[in-house]
Amino acid sequence: MTFANDEVLRFYRELPFNTFGDLEEHKKSIKSGISLRNHPPLLEILSNQTRVLEVGCGVGWLSAQIAERFHASVTSIDFNKVAIEIAQKSADALNIAVEYREADLFLYNPEVKFDVCVSLGVLHHTNNCISAIERCVDKFIRSGGYFYVGLYHVFGRRPFLSHFERMSQNGASEEDLLLEYARLSQVKTDEKHLYSWFRDQVLHPHETQHALKEITEVCSKAGARLVSTSINQFKKFDSESELFEREIEYEKVSKQRIAEGEYFPGFFTALYQKS
């Protein structure tokens, strides 16, 4: 049974997220290593002995950076053929070895489980995020392996969405919304790349939002414990409950950032280890 969302697939086939206007810009972004540096927990658990699966790789930046830096064995799946083709072309141009596959995560059954499963900004676009998380932990990760997941935050995401909803209700056009997104994000990039981000963040047809507490409970039942999270900048913590209390403050932070004209998409990541 699949919980893949067909409307989401059509949306990303039209323009995959994180897409630049030409191949050279894709290559530069992969070589920059920025995507990987934004996720410090991965830097601590990856090596040339690690077997990695990225679920929902899109145009493949992160997978390519992992393969290039650590010479790890990397498999990347996405249900969007257009994104997979871009990812493969970029990796081939840089002579980086990644196995990119067009696959539905709910139907994908690897013969051997992986040391690390990564899924960033993907599972909340399915019709059942919780089932997707359970499948990642149960079917894709070996005992002792890691699951690194990134999702929209139920508290931190609200102000961002509300800001653009109010603009739309007040008659703002798509061009108005794009200009506002560009103002908040202050991303200096080519037009296609900016528009791919804007569509993903503002025009997306389906998403759900989640809390660290909720996802930690789901992972715990599936046999994986919380190791670190962006909620406290990946620092050591004395108890999970202190993190769950802290994450409630994300709504206040998000409102303040938006009011100050700063980009705050409301996104969190967490690293879990399977027992």
Q: What is the dihedral angle through the alpha carbons of 266, 190, 119, 238, rounded to the nearest 10 degrees?
A: -40
User: Residue-wise pLDDT tens for the chain (275 aa)?
Assistant: 999 999 999 999 999 999 999 999 999 999 999 899 999 999 999 999 999 999 999 999 999 999 999 999 999 999 999 999 999 999 999 999 999 999 999 999 999 999 999 999 999 999 999 999 999 999 999 999 999 999 999 999 999 999 999 999 999 999 999 999 999 998 778 899 999 999 999 999 999 999 999 999 999 999 999 999 999 999 999 999 999 999 999 999 999 999 999 999 899 999 999 99
CB 146 within 8 A of CB 116: yes
Whether the predicted model's global pTM rises above the 0.75 cut = yes
Is-contact 234 42, C-beta < 8 A? no
CATH class of 6-154+207-250+266-274: alpha beta
Cα angle, residue 201 at apex, residues 197 and 206 outer, rounded to 5°: 125
d(CA 65, CA 262): 28
